[in-house]
Structure formats: structure tokens, C-alpha cells
Structure 1
């Protein structure tokens, strides 16, 4: 089997922690990962918007996915996953504040199960690994 055929049957995912759960996004959406620095709070912004920060001259909106996904946990909030502006809904620079970034993994597409129940479009699927679950989410559904 060629390397191209193998790659089309797998996907590379960046795993990160929100509270006690592990989530992942397609690595193709990720521009960079940075440490949390000072955020400027924007008055009257949406509840999921933590603020903005300057990343190499770009104003980047920082979103708390815990608010978006209804996760009640104060966690470490140590890292920011910055998404590629060309892959965001409105072309803006957006980042998610997460507790920790774990690893990039390559997952076979046939190991990804559909999200159970009547999920909204935020969840792409679920990956079962080592007796636990990793939830694959779409970063593009969050409006900053």
C-alpha cells in the first residue's frame, strides 16, 4: 500500500485536556500552540470569549471551549491552541485556552465512531483508547 493511500485512511489529531476529559482537533486546523500570557478582557463580549492577546502583531481572540461545551471545571488553563485563520469561519485569528496539550496522534479513520445521540455539529466523533474516550471536536463551530 502506498504512503498516500495509508495517509488517506488516517487522520492526525492534536489531543488536549479540558478538565478531566481528553479532546482532539484535526492538526490541519492548528497554526501554533503557545503558553498563556496576559489577556485583555473585552467588555460586553460573549461569555465564551476570555479576551484578546497580541501574537506577533496579530490580535487573537481567546475562547474558552469549556464554556462552549458546558464543562464545569476550573482546571489549569496553561496553553492556547491557535487556529489557522484560513481555516476559521470568518478568517480571524482565534485561540482556545486549554488545560494542557498532550500529543499529536495518528488515528485510523475506521477507529473513529460517530458521536452518540443527538449531538450538535461541534462533535465530529469519538475515539476509544485504553478504556477511555477522546472526543474529536470541530474548532470552526465556535464563533469568536
Structure 2
């Protein structure tokens, strides 16, 4: 099996990854327009190059507490099928090649195991791989 690439990012001290094929761009946090009656983790929408994109606070969605936005905070603009979604993360780190053999199944009963497709062990780091399909499925209902 061949390697695939992920974009690595942090939420607090934890490291996560998202397959690069779903990442359109990484942006600084722009002005977010609140959406009435949206779930707590939906911060609102932004107008990015003419597209209105929903913005999700990934920390809040994964029950990791409220994010404190800093200079390092970023919005990862993702696209899955026809759905575009922005994910607020504490900071992005780098693009990493992952060997599928280095991925273990997530431990059952983890707080966010619904959204985690596996744990990659890379260069001494443990990176939780986000299942974008699950995130998109929850937010588009």
C-alpha cells in the first residue's frame, strides 16, 4: 500500500491529521458571522472568495473545551463531496506522509471516537486521524 498525505494540526496538546485530498486551503480566522440557533460548535459562516462557508470550532465539537484564538489559530477549509466546511484549529504544523501500516484503530470509548478513523504513529508522534465524512454528516443534517 502506498503512503498518503495528511495535514497535521493541534488542538491543545493533542495532534490531529486530515487527509490532504480534502483540504482546499488553510486560512487565518476572518470575520465570522454568527448563525442563529446553530449548535454551540458552529461558530458561524465566512465569505471566502465568494463562497459562504460554515465554520466549525473543532475543539468544541470534539469536547476539548473552548478555543482561545491566537496568532497561530487557523481555519482549515475542507471539501467533502460538495460540502465545504471550515475547521478552526489551534495551529497547523506540517504535511506528513503516512504509511497505512502505521495506523492503529482508535480505542473504543474515546470522547471523540466517532470522528477518529485511527491513530497514526509517525516519527514518535501520535496523530489522531479525523474522519471528515463523519464531521460533514453531523453538520449537514
What TM-score, normalized to structure 1?
A: 0.83
Distance, in Å, in 2 between the alignment partners of 1:76 and 1:20 is 15
| Higher Cα Rg, which structure | 1
Deviations 1:44-77 (A, max 9, x none): 1111100100011000000011122110253445
Aligned to 1:38: 31
Written as runs of structure 1 = structure 2, the 5 A alignment for 1:25-104 is 25-76=18-69, 78-84=73-79, 87-88=80-81, 91-104=82-95
Measured in 2, the distance between the counterparts of 1:113 and 1:138 equals 14
Q: Which residue of 2 aligns with 1:3?
A: none
Shift, 1:92, TM fit: 2.9
Mapped partners of 1:93, 1:65: distance in 2: 15
Stretches of structure 1 that go unaligned for 5 or more consecutive residues are 1-7
Q: Distance in 2 between matches of 1:46 and 1:73?
A: 14
Query: How big is the shift at 1:134?
Result: 0.9
The two structures, once aligned, show a CA RMSD in angstroms of 1.7
Where does structure 2 lack aligned partners over 5 or more consecutive residues? none
Aligned length: 133
